[in-house]
Chain A
Amino acid sequence: MSEQVILIVAVVVLAAGTYALRACGPMLRERVRLPQRAEEAMTLAAVLLLAALVGTAALTEAEGFAGWARPAGVLVGGVLAWRKAPFVVVVLAAAATAALLRLAGVP
């Protein structure tokens, strides 16, 4: 098989597998009527996953420390969000903090 064909097959397999992972929840939910408590547990699970994504995406890069600028930016955004600043302000402040720190030489 040529290298190009191998790459296309790899992308298609990854795409099919990813779609299957995404479809698990919607497919099974249609068949089984979940009790209220299970619904709450599912929502909690998603919140925990998103929180873990925030933590790992803010602090780590390829299994190592991401440097100070990024977590500092996320922290500024987090404090603003906690004080109920508008979403746009939170996101722009996080990006601007990281960008300015890098401009000042912080990794």
Chain B
Amino acid sequence: MQGDLARDIALVLLADGIVGLSFGAIAVGSGLPMWLPMLLSVLVFAGAAQFLFVGIIAAGGNPVAAVLAGLLVNARHVPFGFAIGDVLGRGWRKWVGTHVMIDETVAFALAQRDAERRKAAYWACGVGLFVCWNVGVVLGAVAGTAVSDTAALGLDAAFPAVLLALVLPSLRDKATGAAALVGVAVALAATPLLPAGLPVLLSLLALPIALVLHEQRARERTASAADPASSGEEASCPSR
């Protein structure tokens, strides 16, 4: 793996390890048994769902509601799996790779150009995050209130910034960028109205927009290639 990719992944591992520390501390601090955040982190391994689950249980909520809320937040892994299913490999690798499929690993894999680098990024980020996240959670649960306020470190801004930096190259494509803006607007508008997890899924309503725009561009391209004389003006413009 190239040095720049390893360094980028290491930074995300460090940031997520500290968030794991805070997760363990917050869970134990809100009166839950020490084993709960650890068990969740090993078996579920999905930060947003874990925070939600612990929040509902700690507030005296129904465990069934906590499970359903967690599953709803994790539903985005279905489309993620279709997008990056080919980097997992075969046999036992596929089963292990499936478990470490999370936002960061998917974003890192999608941001790589060739298949070899995609695979390397996915596995380094996935296995590294699993280790760092769980070590962080154990330390946080044991140490208690050590770093319960990750906001003071600005780590809540680091997570969206990580994903943004990784998807930005894809968003530079005008059709994808326009569809993404619509998707973000839909998700934000739905956030006060719908349970966590659904608003993000609703951004997929913008998928047809992206597909139609891509289709249109492909057609324009083949048309201008077939008849360069009639589209002289557009051809002189280097942009799409």
Q: Which residues of A contact B (CB under 8 A)?
A: 4, 6-15, 17-19, 21-26, 28-30, 40-60, 63-64, 66, 69-74, 77-78, 81-82, 86-88, 90-100, 102-103
**CA distance in complex: A95, B152 (Å):** 9
Contact A50 B103 (CB under 8 A): yes
| Count of chain B residues with a beta carbon within 8 Å of a chain A beta carbon | 88
Candidates B40, B158, B204; contact of A49 at CB < 8 Å: B204
Contact B78 A57 (CB under 8 A): no
Query: In the assembled complex, which residues on chain B have CB atoms less than 8 Å from the CB atom of A64?
Result: 192
Q: In the assembled complex, how far is the CB of residue A32 from the closest CB belonging to chain B, in whole angstroms?
A: 10
Contact B103 A53 (CB under 8 A): yes
A14 and B67 in contact, given A48-B183, A52-B200, A98-B156 (Cβ under 8 angstroms): yes
Query: Nearest chain-A residue to B203 (Cβ)?
Result: A52
Contact A90 B165 (CB under 8 A): yes
Contact B81 A18 (CB under 8 A): no
Query: In the assembled complex, which residues on chain B have CB atoms less than 8 Å from the CB atom of A87?
Result: 4, 8, 11, 165-166
Contact A53 B81 (CB under 8 A): no
B171 interfacial by beta-carbon distance below 8 Å: yes
Q: How many A-B residue pairs have CB under 8 A?
A: 273
Query: In the assembled complex, which residues on chain A have CB atoms less than 8 Å from the CB atom of B84?
Result: 25, 46
Contact B165 A91 (CB under 8 A): yes
Interface class of chain A by DSSP = helix
Candidates B82, B170, B192, B203; contact of A29 at CB < 8 Å: B82
B231 interfacial by beta-carbon distance below 8 Å: no
B53 interfacial by beta-carbon distance below 8 Å: yes
Query: In the assembled complex, which residues on chain A have CB atoms less than 8 Å from the CB atom of B103?
Result: 50, 53
| In the complex, chain B residues 3-53 whose Cβ is within 8 Å of any chain A Cβ | 4, 7-8, 11-12, 15, 33, 36, 39-40, 43-46, 49, 53
Contact B154 A99 (CB under 8 A): yes
Candidates B64, B99, B180, B214; contact of A48 at CB < 8 Å: B180
Stretch of B133-141, B205-213, B220-228 at the chain-chain interface? B205-213
Most buried by A among B66, B80, B186: B80
B234 interfacial by beta-carbon distance below 8 Å: no
Query: In the assembled complex, which residues on chain A have CB atoms less than 8 Å from the CB atom of B115?
Result: none
Query: In the assembled complex, which residues on chain A have CB atoms less than 8 Å from the CB atom of B166?
Result: 50, 87
Contact A14 B53 (CB under 8 A): yes
B74 interfacial by beta-carbon distance below 8 Å: yes
Candidates A52, A72, A97; contact of B184 at CB < 8 Å: A52
Query: Nearest chain-A residue to B46 (Cβ)?
Result: A18
**CA distance in complex: A94, B165 (Å):** 11
